[in-house]
Chain A
Amino acid sequence: MAEMRGFLRSDGRKGIRNVVVVAYLVECAHHVARRIVTVSDDMDVHLIGFPGCYPNSYAFQIMTKLCTHPNVGGVLLVSLGCESFNREALRQVVAASGRPVETLVIQQAGGTKATIEAGRAAVARLKALADQTPVGPMARHELVVGTICGGSDGTSGITANPAVGRCFDWLVEAGATCIFEETGELVGCERIMSDRAVTPELGAEIEACVQKAERYYTIMGFGSFAPGNAEGGLTTQEEKSMGAYSKSGSSPISGLIKPGDIPPSGGLYLMDVVPDGEPRFGFPNISDNAEIVELIASGSHVILFTTGRGSVVGSAISPVIKVCANPETYTRLSEDMDVNAGRILEGKATLDEVGAEILDLVEAAAVGERTVSEALGHQEFILTYKSFEPVGPACLPTRAA
């Protein structure tokens, strides 16, 4: 395999892509921004944005982290003009990161057609500048990899999820950073998780974070252990949760982060995606892509997405590798999948073999090979309202040390 090379960013991080993002700052600018991306007709020009007109510090933080993500080489902000999003503050953060950035305000630029034309020219300029980004060698320990499961079924917890766990173990051993999440689906294994924390204080934070998720989901009206789970062979709540949890592998847990927090060093991190305080804006994450966006905001270069029933999504900014748990699903949707972990169920491969294949694909994506969803043009993106308190000092013991 070719040697990994990264785009060198001013904060010391390295990118495996050099994407120009076109970001709408309110839904009213969405169409114009989308048209700019469409007319630019370039696989590495991606659409992101925040639809809300009212301010939200979480959304501002996530947009900031995405626009300064190591995979991003240039930014075009598209504003209607009267929304509350602080476009100048965002522009300044991006400019300070050394990235080329331009802003278009539709109300000042002459409306839809004029802004799309101006946007096409701006993207070309940004792209030319981004192309001058220096490139340097990148090692495995510099990778940040996130994982999520979506469209899970009874096979997810015995094939794709533990295979991703093997891959995570090897990445963490090499000094890389791995992030898992979905605390709402980890109910029942919080004590098992807290035992893996590098300090007892971090363990207590992890238990509290699952407790928060459990309470939040109860208020939202989520059930947990369904009769269908038992038919599929699952006996207990903790067993069901362990299936999702097995994506994390068996490394010690080095920290607890919230969306947009950048892990301070290599190791395995749990991301707490459930908002703090009383439920205010509805479901914590309305679809898988909302979680993918949060994993990317915390620096993930690549996302490992396990699916049993068969999700087809990708993402803006960072490539998604889809690991299919169910061999029948793989047969139906093979053109949307990167890995057939269902071979484990068919006795054709071991967990270690599939784990090694996933690791190879992470490195292939890092040297520039397109993942399946990336090549198909999938660039899903969603960002909604949330509110978070900052993590406490016990959550990141490696930073405190």
Chain B
Amino acid sequence: MSTPISPLILLHPDDNVLVVRAAIRAGDALEIDGTPVTAAQDVTVGHKLARRTLAAGDKVLKYGAPIGSMTAAVDVGGHVHMHNMKSDYIASHTRQVVGGSEGGH
């Protein structure tokens, strides 16, 4: 659990992203799991920062659950959003067709 003064919230111990609870400015000194990190850019409340170094293809875990995959690498403390992450969700009403070509899960 993040300390009470951290601008970041860890929602689940397995997560590899943190949620911003107070707006962060580029250059702010952050601490992520005991490691000092300098914020690379402004990030507003509700957005996500990488808790670990992530590579393209890595699953993004929030609430302890996969919420999508990285499409590009990010360093610890980097912003994780539309520019480097995508959904893995396939609408269930189209999944049977797609699932057939994938051979199920």
Contacts and interface: CB of A to CB of B under 8 A. Distances in A.
- B is a partner of A: yes
Given A155-B46, A347-B4, A348-B4, A242 B67 contact: yes
A120 interface: no
Contact of A347 (B5, B19, B63, B81): B5
A233 B20 contact: yes
5 contacts: A207-B92, A235-B82, A239-B68, A245-B63, A350-B1
A344 interface: yes
Interface stretch (A208-216, A276-284, A364-372, A383-391): A208-216
B4 to A, nearest CB: 5
B29 to A, nearest CB: 16
B11 A236 contact: no
Interface of A: 154-155, 158, 162, 187-192, 207, 210-211, 214-215, 218, 230, 232-239, 242-243, 245-246, 250, 344-352
B85 A238 contact: no
A155 B91 CA distance: 26
Nearest to B79: A233
What range describes how many residues of B lie at the interface?
A: 35 or more
B97 to A, nearest CB: 13
Interface of B: 1, 4-7, 9, 11-12, 19-22, 44-48, 60, 62-68, 80-82, 85-89, 91-93, 105
A146 B66 CA distance: 26
Contact of A236 (B12, B63, B67, B93): B67
A347 B23 CA distance: 12
A350 B6 CA distance: 11
Contacts of B68: 235-236, 238-239
B65 A189 contact: yes
A211 B21 contact: no
A351 B80 CA distance: 22
A238 B91 CA distance: 10
B89 A242 contact: no
Contacts of A210: 92
Given A234-B46, A235-B85, 18 more contacts: A192-B66, A214-B92, A233-B46, A233-B81, A235-B48, A235-B67, A235-B81, A236-B67, A236-B87, A237-B87, A238-B67, A238-B87, A242-B62, A242-B65, A345-B22, A347-B7, A347-B21, A347-B22
